Amino acid sequence: MSGTRTLCCHVNTATLSFAIIYLIGNMLKLVGIFLTVSWDKAEDSVYYHESKALKGHRVFDISTNILMLVLMSISAVLVLFSQRKGPMFVLPFSMMMMVELSLSFLSLFNGVWGLPGTPSYRDMLKAVRRVPALNEEEIGQFTMWYSVLFMVDILLKVYVLQVSMKCFYAMKEKRVSAIHVDTGNTVTVKLPSYDEALKMKAEDTPPTYQEP
């Protein structure tokens, strides 16, 4: 496989496609967060001395999630201008993919470190257990499918990170080679013909070497 190709397309095309899908997904997550905040009334069901702590925690959690999604969206938008602006516009997208991979692994140990707009395993399990029609076997199947989808998501993010880095180096190499071509200086020297060399004056020839 060539260094500038992945599967059946160029790495630039693949990175641009991933960035568009990534941007759409982040926009949907932002809409979901705003809808959840507008509909969620969980703080009304707790005592007054706990409501302030719960509200402060929720405000911090929601604000950090929104900020994270905004940064992710900006990194995806920058990829759309990378063809004209240069490879540095791809680098933020690759860095955000590294952050997503780190948060995905950290969510295995604590759901607080999960990705913004993405429910953790504990949240999904609580939601499934609220359904009275599900038995223990069906909950176990849900756990198995969640684990499989989680690993597929991790592998997909690793692949997107690899493609974006290949795109960055390919664009950087292309730009460096273009700069070398544009700034290359050439010197053309016209040599005399044989007849012109014979007609040269004797004083134009270099002096012969003589020992002192």
Helix ranges (H only) for the chain are 11-39, 48-80, 82-85, 91-106, 121-129, 136-183, 194-198
**Residues 97 and 153 sit within 8 Å (Cβ to Cβ):** no
Residue 76 has what pLDDT? Answer: 92
The region, left, alpha or beta by phi > 0 then psi within -120 to 50, assigned to residue 60 is: alpha
Q: Could you read off the pLDDT of 149-199 as tens digits, one per residue? A: 888 888 998 999 999 999 888 888 887 776 666 555 555 556 666 666 666
Q: 189 is written with which tokens?
A: 């020297």
Half-sphere exposure of 3 (CA within 13 A, CB side): 9
Q: Could you read off the pLDDT of 61-83 as tens digits, one per residue? A: 778 888 888 998 999 999 999 88
pTM of the model: 0.68
